[in-house]
Structure 1
Amino acid sequence: MKQLFPYGLDAPPVVRNLVLCSLACWLLFALNFTHWVPITINGFQWPALSFGLGAAALIWSSCYGKLRRRETLLDQLHWSGAERVLDIGCGRGLFAVAAARRVPQGHVTGIDIWQSEDLSGNSPEAVADNALREGVADRVDTRTADMRKLPFADGTVDTVVSSVAIHNIYQAEERDRAIDEIARVLRSGGQVLIDDIRHMSQYAKRLRAAGFEVSLTHDVASWFWRVISFGNLVPGTLVARKSLG
C-alpha cells in the first residue's frame, strides 16, 4: 500500500462511499433482470458508472495523477532556488518535497494537523520518508500547526503553496482567516499557489482585497468534477503575488 500510494490515498472515506454506492446501483440494476423485487426501475447503470468513475479517478490521481500535476502547477511559480517555502496542509509532503527540489539553497516547511480522513497515512513521519526517498531530506521540515494561526512572523516566507487543504475549513469566515494568514507571512513580492476543489472565488476575492495580483483558472478536469459531483466540486488553481511595498 505504501509503495502504491507513497503520497497517500486522497479522501479515503469518499473513495469508500463512491465504491459502495456504485456497487449498490449495480446490484439494483442486476435485480431488474430477476423476479425478486415487485417493481422495475430502469437507469441504475448510469449512477453506477458515475460513482465508479469518481472512485477510479480518485485512485488514479492518488497513484499517478497528482505526482504529474504537482510539477505542472509548480511550474507556474517563479523560482530563484533560494526561497523559503511554506506548504499549508502538506499531508505526506507531495508539494513540499517537489518544492524542495526546486530550492537547493532554500528550505521548505510543511504544516498540517494530520487528519487521516483527508489523506491515508497522514503524518510527519510520512513527509520525512518521502523527502528522504526523493533526496531532499535536508531541506524539508514539518510542524503541527493550524493554517488559521501560522507560527511564522510577518513577511518571513517567500512562497506559499497549498493543495486541496483550505476547503477542509467549513466556515467561510475561518477560511478567510487562513487566507489572511497567508497574506501576513508572505514578504512583499512573495507568491502563493492554491490548488483546491471548492471556494476558489472566495480565496481570490480575499487576496485581491489584501493587495495581491491574482490569476484564477479552471481546467478541463474541473468541468468533469463539476458534472460528476452535481456541482459540489469546482476545482481551480490560483496563483497570486503580493504587492511590493
Structure 2
Amino acid sequence: MNPPDSDISLFKRLRFVLVETSRAGNIGSVARAMKTMGFSDLVLVAPRCEDPLNDAEAVAFASGATDVLQGARIVGSIAEALEGCNFAAAVSARLREFSPPVWTPRAFSAHVAGQGELRPALILGNERVGLPNEIVEQCNVLINIPANPAYSSLNLSQAAQVLAYECRMAAAGDEVDSRGVGFQGDAASLAQIEGMYAHLEEALVAIGFLNANNPKKLMPRLKRLFSRTQLETEEVNILRGIASQILKR
C-alpha cells in the first residue's frame, strides 16, 4: 500500500473494495449505499458475475447510483485494489483466532476521519464465504458490526450502508448536526421574541387567563417553554397573529 500524496476529505479518500462478489445486484446495492452517504470510490476484485457494471440487476439495484457503479474499477487481485491505500480494514461477522485488532465501524470511522494522511479501504468479502484469512491478515484492523448475537447476519449492501453512514457522520461531524432536519427558516431576533411575549401577555390578560395584578409565574414559564424551541420569525408572526385575533374579540 503506497503512501498518500495530499490531505483531502474522507469522502474522497475512502475506498470500498468488494472481493469476489457473486451477485451483480449486490454490487449495485453497494453503489447505492455509497452514493447516499457521499462516497464514490468502488473497486471490484475478481467479481464472479459477468459484466457487473452493466448487468441489468446491478443497474436496477443501484437505483440512481449508476455513476458510482459505472465508475467502479475491476481488478484481478487485492494488491491491485489497495494501490494508493495505506490503511486497510477487513469487514467480517466472523472473528478469527489470528486477526488484526477488532474495531467497530464507529471506531474505524473516527480514526480515519481524523487523520487526513490516511487513504483507507474497507474490504468486504463474498456473500457466502466472506473474506479469506490471507486477506484479513494483510489488513490493519478487522471491523465487526455489533448486532444481535442470535442473528448477526447482514447482507453485503446492509453492511456497506452501516459503514458508509458511520464514515459520513465522522467526516461531516458538527456540520451534519447543526444543519438539522427538514426546512428551517430565519431565526427570530431577541427583539421579535420580546415583542411576541408582550403581545401574548396582553392577549392572555384580555381573555382572563392571566391576572395582571397577580401574574404569578405564568409568563416566566411561557418564556422558558419557548426558549427551548429556537423560534423562527414566521413562527413568531403566527403567535402574534393569534394574539391579535384574541384582542379583536
Bigger RCO (CA 8 Å, 6+ sep): 2
Larger radius of gyration: 2
Question: Would you tell me which structure has more strand in proportion to its own residues?
Answer: 1
Fold equivalence (TM over 0.5):
no
Q: TM-score range by the shorter chain?
A: 0.3 to 0.5
